[in-house]
Amino acid sequence: MSTYLALRAILSPIARKTVAQILSAGNGLNVVRSASPAIRAVPVRFYAEKEVFKRDKPHCNVGTIGHVDHGKTTLTAAITKVLADKDLAESKKYTDIDNAPEEKARGITINVAHIEYQTENRHYGHTDCPGHADYIKNMITGTAQMDGAILVVAATDGAMPQTREHLLLAKQIGVNHIVVFINKVDAADQEMVDLVEMEIRELMSEMGFDGDNVPVIKGSALCALEGREPEMGANAVMKLLEEVDKYVPTPVRELDKPFLLPVESVHSIPGRGTVVTGRLERGMLKKGQECEFVGYNKVIKSTITGIEMFHKILEEAHAGDQLGALVRGIKRDDIKRGMVMCKPGTMKANDNFEAQVYILSKDEGGRHKPFTSFIQLQMFSRTWDCATQVQIPGKDMIMPGEDAKLQLRLMRPMVLEQGQRFTLRDGHITLGTGVVTKLLAPLTEKERLALTEGKKAREKAATGKA
């Protein structure tokens, strides 16, 4: 308990909750011995008592996306309550999911929250994504981990700016199966609800989804959470989950490849070690395996000494699992979000590559004007983002709505591989989406200096204009 109180003052709210659950679970990751009497006194038998994750159903990652305040977190809480009544989930309150102080103060989701539940057919890892425009970076991370999504739209508002942007990002990242939940139907008349359904189907078709056939469920997450109006409450939530079971296909995982886990967050537990969290993108993982962290000009070797998923012991992690891995001999500050944990020797960082990119048109939410070589953009891929300089081979400019072959140079080397998808943003605008087609020779010291000096000159010029 003393360890928990000491940590509470310095860790982020989400980390505090993670640490509290690990400590209260009785040293579930009891693989690093400590001199602390308080920790040493915990009997080893608690390790055995901690529940082991049973892989008796297909695992699928889904999540809630949509505009701020349309009810994504309320729906997430409602799903757990309805399923808890059937012994298929642990009921979570709204405040358990929106648990950072700023989230509570503003009543919006900022960070990505992960919870678990089951239906009769599947085990789900559920990501509650932030809808606020200021936190789009966290939303990109959350969406990148999904196999399918639930788009939440308020019947009182209809489609709003982040509704469109989230659909756009989901499409770019490769989330192709989306089920719609029209929320707050208890606060709107039937004509309004029908109008919102038509509007959403049209928007989804415009964004490249099958708008005519996408499942649309109408209900009230608040009614489900408060246990009233079962037809629009609990029954609507169960109908939603049935449609997710049917419409989102069971993903085919790459289990035979070397393991790769993009790091989403890092936590330090005194007396135990460092825990990294993220979704295992491919391969399988076991306690005792050697691993390597790559990114930000670092390559750090370690050994995995424990694995958990949703606070249950994982004897073997499979691609698609949202997990926490305890690693030996590494300090919290050695690892950063955006690095990858991989099989030693299988991944390298690079800063120079060619890509095929689609530049969004004005109507799709992109730029109004063309851009030329040497523009600096922000690139998002997996869990990292980095400033990048764009060069256009053989052309003067790229128009909105065009497909283009580009050469991109990152301000710092990050893990890249052929076929890797990414998103380019310019300020608050999503400029385009692309795929890495060819890795080029890393930048020389002279080229890197020119790149960084050019960045400084642009920043200085921008400051002067201001």
The number of beta carbons lying within 10 Å of the beta carbon of residue 331 is: 11
Contact present, 323 and 307 (Cβ < 8 Å): yes
Closest CA to 269 of 340, 337, 338, 331: 331
As given in the structure block, the two tokens for residue 465 are 């204009």
Dihedral sign (CA 163, 164, 166, 171): positive
Please say if 73 is a catalytic residue: yes
The DSSP line for 351-390 is EEEEEEEEEPPTTTT--SS-EETT-EEEEEETTEEEEEEE
Residue 26 neighbours by CB under 8 Å, 6+ apart: 42, 43, 46, 47, 49, 50
Alpha-carbon gap, residue 201 to 247, rounded angstroms: 16
189 annotated active-site: no
Residue 259's CB is within 10 A of a number of other CB atoms, namely 24
Helix 190-206 / helix 161-173 crossing angle, nearest 10 deg: 40
**Do residues 176 and 213 lie in contact, with contact meaning Cβ atoms separated by under 8 Å?**
no
Question: Can you tell me the distance from the alpha carbon of 164 to that of 136, in angstroms, rounded to the nearest whole number?
Answer: 13
The residue annotated as part of the active site, out of 59, 67, 70, 73, is: 73
- Residue tagged active-site, from 72, 114, 184, 218: 72
From the candidates 17, 50, 57, 132, give the one annotated as an active-site residue: 132
Could you say which of 50, 69, 186, 194 is catalytic? 69
Would you call 132 a catalytic residue per the annotation?
yes
Judge whether 56 counts as a catalytic residue. no
For 36, other C-beta atoms within 10 Å of its C-beta total 12
> Token match 């128009």: residue?
399
Q: Any idea which residues carry the catalytic annotation? A: 69, 72-73, 132
